[in-house]
Structure 1
Amino acid sequence: MNPNTDESQQALRRAVDDLVMEWPGVSRKVMFGCPSYVADGVLFAVVSEQGLSLTRLTETQRARLERSHAVEPFEAGGRLVRKWATVRVEPTGLSPVERALRQSYEAAVV
Protein backbone atom coordinates (compact mmCIF):
# COMPACT_ATOMS: atom_id res chain seq x y z
CA MET A 1 0.00 0.00 0.00
CA ASN A 2 1.49 3.37 -0.94
CA PRO A 3 1.58 6.21 1.60
CA ASN A 4 -0.96 8.31 -0.31
CA THR A 5 -3.48 5.49 -0.18
CA ASP A 6 -2.88 5.05 3.55
CA GLU A 7 -3.27 8.79 4.15
CA SER A 8 -6.47 8.85 2.12
CA GLN A 9 -7.83 5.84 4.03
CA GLN A 10 -7.03 7.50 7.36
CA ALA A 11 -8.73 10.73 6.26
CA LEU A 12 -11.80 8.76 5.18
CA ARG A 13 -11.83 6.93 8.53
CA ARG A 14 -11.77 10.26 10.37
CA ALA A 15 -14.62 11.61 8.22
CA VAL A 16 -16.72 8.48 8.83
CA ASP A 17 -15.89 8.66 12.56
CA ASP A 18 -17.10 12.27 12.67
CA LEU A 19 -20.38 11.26 11.07
CA VAL A 20 -21.29 7.94 12.73
CA MET A 21 -19.63 7.72 16.14
CA GLU A 22 -22.40 9.76 17.75
CA TRP A 23 -25.14 7.52 16.39
CA PRO A 24 -26.66 5.30 19.11
CA GLY A 25 -24.94 1.95 19.64
CA VAL A 26 -22.03 2.58 17.21
CA SER A 27 -18.50 1.46 17.92
CA ARG A 28 -15.40 0.99 15.80
CA LYS A 29 -13.27 -2.13 15.68
CA VAL A 30 -10.74 -3.64 13.32
CA MET A 31 -12.08 -6.31 10.97
CA PHE A 32 -10.36 -7.52 7.79
CA GLY A 33 -7.43 -5.37 8.95
CA CYS A 34 -9.57 -2.26 8.42
CA PRO A 35 -11.49 0.23 10.55
CA SER A 36 -15.00 -1.20 10.73
CA TYR A 37 -18.20 0.12 12.23
CA VAL A 38 -20.74 -1.90 14.15
CA ALA A 39 -24.08 -0.96 15.65
CA ASP A 40 -25.29 -3.11 18.50
CA GLY A 41 -22.66 -5.67 17.45
CA VAL A 42 -23.72 -5.80 13.77
CA LEU A 43 -21.26 -4.69 11.07
CA PHE A 44 -22.59 -1.91 8.82
CA ALA A 45 -19.52 -0.24 7.26
CA VAL A 46 -15.83 -0.80 6.54
CA VAL A 47 -13.19 1.74 5.48
CA SER A 48 -10.40 0.23 3.38
CA GLU A 49 -8.02 1.19 0.62
CA GLN A 50 -10.91 0.21 -1.68
CA GLY A 51 -13.13 2.96 -0.23
CA LEU A 52 -16.24 2.82 1.96
CA SER A 53 -18.05 -0.52 2.05
CA LEU A 54 -21.66 -0.64 3.19
CA THR A 55 -22.62 -4.09 4.38
CA ARG A 56 -26.35 -3.90 5.08
CA LEU A 57 -28.01 -2.27 2.04
CA THR A 58 -31.04 -3.84 0.42
CA GLU A 59 -30.97 -4.47 -3.34
CA THR A 60 -33.14 -1.38 -3.87
CA GLN A 61 -30.85 0.80 -1.76
CA ARG A 62 -27.78 -0.53 -3.56
CA ALA A 63 -29.40 0.14 -6.96
CA ARG A 64 -30.11 3.73 -5.87
CA LEU A 65 -26.46 4.15 -4.85
CA GLU A 66 -25.32 2.66 -8.17
CA ARG A 67 -27.18 5.40 -10.06
CA SER A 68 -24.77 8.00 -8.66
CA HIS A 69 -21.58 6.04 -7.86
CA ALA A 70 -19.52 3.22 -9.26
CA VAL A 71 -20.22 0.35 -6.84
CA GLU A 72 -17.84 -2.58 -6.48
CA PRO A 73 -17.90 -5.64 -4.23
CA PHE A 74 -15.61 -5.68 -1.20
CA GLU A 75 -12.47 -7.76 -1.60
CA ALA A 76 -11.01 -9.50 1.44
CA GLY A 77 -7.99 -11.75 1.03
CA GLY A 78 -8.72 -12.34 -2.65
CA ARG A 79 -12.37 -13.23 -1.96
CA LEU A 80 -15.14 -10.98 -3.23
CA VAL A 81 -18.05 -10.12 -0.97
CA ARG A 82 -20.51 -9.20 -3.72
CA LYS A 83 -23.39 -8.29 -1.42
CA TRP A 84 -21.45 -5.37 0.07
CA ALA A 85 -21.49 -2.07 -1.80
CA THR A 86 -18.05 -0.45 -1.95
CA VAL A 87 -17.71 3.11 -3.24
CA ARG A 88 -14.69 5.32 -3.66
CA VAL A 89 -15.37 8.62 -1.95
CA GLU A 90 -13.25 11.55 -0.95
CA PRO A 91 -13.12 12.19 2.80
CA THR A 92 -14.56 15.65 2.15
CA GLY A 93 -17.32 14.20 -0.02
CA LEU A 94 -19.34 11.91 2.23
CA SER A 95 -22.57 13.85 1.65
CA PRO A 96 -23.53 11.94 -1.54
CA VAL A 97 -23.28 8.59 0.28
CA GLU A 98 -24.48 9.71 3.71
CA ARG A 99 -28.03 8.45 3.05
CA ALA A 100 -26.77 4.98 2.09
CA LEU A 101 -24.43 4.91 5.10
CA ARG A 102 -27.36 5.75 7.37
CA GLN A 103 -29.50 3.05 5.72
CA SER A 104 -26.78 0.45 6.31
CA TYR A 105 -26.61 1.55 9.96
CA GLU A 106 -30.39 1.45 10.38
CA ALA A 107 -30.50 -2.10 9.00
CA ALA A 108 -27.90 -3.10 11.59
CA VAL A 109 -29.89 -1.80 14.56
CA VAL A 110 -33.21 -3.41 13.63
Structure 2
Amino acid sequence: MARLLLVLFALASLALPFALALAEPADPREGAAIVFAPWTSQAEAFARIGEAGGAVVRAGYVPFIAIAIAEDARSFAAAVREAGAIALLDPRALAPCTTPDRMP
Protein backbone atom coordinates (compact mmCIF):
# COMPACT_ATOMS: atom_id res chain seq x y z
CA MET A 1 0.00 0.00 0.00
CA ALA A 2 2.82 2.40 0.89
CA ARG A 3 4.49 1.67 -2.43
CA LEU A 4 1.27 2.50 -4.31
CA LEU A 5 0.95 5.79 -2.45
CA LEU A 6 4.56 6.64 -3.28
CA VAL A 7 3.96 5.94 -6.97
CA LEU A 8 0.77 8.02 -6.97
CA PHE A 9 2.57 10.88 -5.24
CA ALA A 10 5.37 10.74 -7.80
CA LEU A 11 2.90 10.81 -10.69
CA ALA A 12 1.01 13.72 -9.17
CA SER A 13 4.29 15.61 -8.68
CA LEU A 14 5.17 15.11 -12.32
CA ALA A 15 1.72 16.22 -13.48
CA LEU A 16 1.65 19.42 -11.41
CA PRO A 17 3.93 21.49 -13.69
CA PHE A 18 1.79 20.57 -16.69
CA ALA A 19 -1.40 21.51 -14.86
CA LEU A 20 0.11 24.85 -13.87
CA ALA A 21 1.26 25.48 -17.43
CA LEU A 22 -2.26 24.93 -18.70
CA ALA A 23 -3.60 27.41 -16.16
CA GLU A 24 -1.20 30.22 -17.14
CA PRO A 25 -2.91 33.50 -17.93
CA ALA A 26 -3.53 34.23 -21.58
CA ASP A 27 -2.48 37.85 -21.16
CA PRO A 28 -1.18 39.48 -17.94
CA ARG A 29 -2.49 42.81 -19.26
CA GLU A 30 -5.95 41.41 -18.49
CA GLY A 31 -4.95 40.00 -15.10
CA ALA A 32 -2.83 37.23 -13.67
CA ALA A 33 -2.85 35.46 -10.33
CA ILE A 34 0.66 35.79 -8.95
CA VAL A 35 1.64 33.09 -6.47
CA PHE A 36 4.65 33.52 -4.21
CA ALA A 37 6.11 31.17 -1.61
CA PRO A 38 3.75 30.63 1.36
CA TRP A 39 6.07 32.52 3.74
CA THR A 40 5.85 35.71 1.62
CA SER A 41 3.95 38.50 3.39
CA GLN A 42 1.24 40.41 1.58
CA ALA A 43 3.27 43.63 1.74
CA GLU A 44 6.28 41.85 0.27
CA ALA A 45 4.19 40.24 -2.50
CA PHE A 46 2.63 43.61 -3.42
CA ALA A 47 6.06 45.27 -3.43
CA ARG A 48 7.56 42.59 -5.66
CA ILE A 49 4.66 42.92 -8.10
CA GLY A 50 5.09 46.70 -8.21
CA GLU A 51 8.85 46.46 -8.70
CA ALA A 52 8.25 44.04 -11.58
CA GLY A 53 6.05 46.61 -13.34
CA GLY A 54 2.63 45.30 -12.33
CA ALA A 55 -0.28 46.74 -10.40
CA VAL A 56 -2.20 44.76 -7.78
CA VAL A 57 -5.94 44.80 -8.45
CA ARG A 58 -7.09 42.23 -5.88
CA ALA A 59 -5.64 40.49 -2.84
CA GLY A 60 -6.03 36.84 -1.98
CA TYR A 61 -7.41 35.14 1.10
CA VAL A 62 -3.82 34.13 1.73
CA PRO A 63 -1.11 36.80 1.75
CA PHE A 64 1.12 35.20 -0.87
CA ILE A 65 -1.44 35.32 -3.73
CA ALA A 66 -2.47 38.50 -5.53
CA ILE A 67 -4.20 39.37 -8.79
CA ALA A 68 -2.21 41.87 -10.85
CA ILE A 69 -2.21 43.51 -14.25
CA ALA A 70 0.70 44.79 -16.31
CA GLU A 71 1.06 46.71 -19.55
CA ASP A 72 4.14 44.86 -20.80
CA ALA A 73 3.13 41.23 -20.42
CA ARG A 74 6.42 39.57 -21.40
CA SER A 75 8.75 41.69 -19.30
CA PHE A 76 6.34 41.57 -16.33
CA ALA A 77 6.13 37.78 -16.39
CA ALA A 78 9.91 37.48 -16.47
CA ALA A 79 10.46 40.18 -13.85
CA VAL A 80 7.90 38.87 -11.37
CA ARG A 81 9.31 35.34 -11.69
CA GLU A 82 12.77 36.75 -11.09
CA ALA A 83 11.33 38.51 -8.02
CA GLY A 84 10.30 35.15 -6.58
CA ALA A 85 6.89 34.32 -8.04
CA ILE A 86 6.32 30.59 -8.13
CA ALA A 87 3.59 30.77 -10.74
CA LEU A 88 1.51 33.10 -12.87
CA LEU A 89 -1.93 31.61 -13.29
CA ASP A 90 -5.20 32.44 -14.91
CA PRO A 91 -7.02 34.36 -12.18
CA ARG A 92 -10.18 32.36 -12.84
CA ALA A 93 -8.27 29.22 -11.80
CA LEU A 94 -7.71 30.75 -8.36
CA ALA A 95 -11.04 32.56 -7.99
CA PRO A 96 -11.88 30.72 -4.74
CA CYS A 97 -8.55 31.95 -3.32
CA THR A 98 -9.31 35.63 -3.87
CA THR A 99 -11.85 38.03 -2.53
CA PRO A 100 -13.04 41.25 -4.12
CA ASP A 101 -13.39 43.01 -0.75
CA ARG A 102 -9.66 42.80 0.11
CA MET A 103 -8.27 45.48 -2.12
CA PRO A 104 -4.77 46.88 -1.49
TM-score, structure 2 as length reference: 0.38
Which structure has the bigger radius of gyration? 2
TM-score, structure 1 as length reference: 0.37
User: Greater strand percent: which structure?
Assistant: 1
User: Greater helix percent: which structure?
Assistant: 2
Of structures 1 and 2, the one with the larger relative CO (CA 8 A, separation 6+) is 2
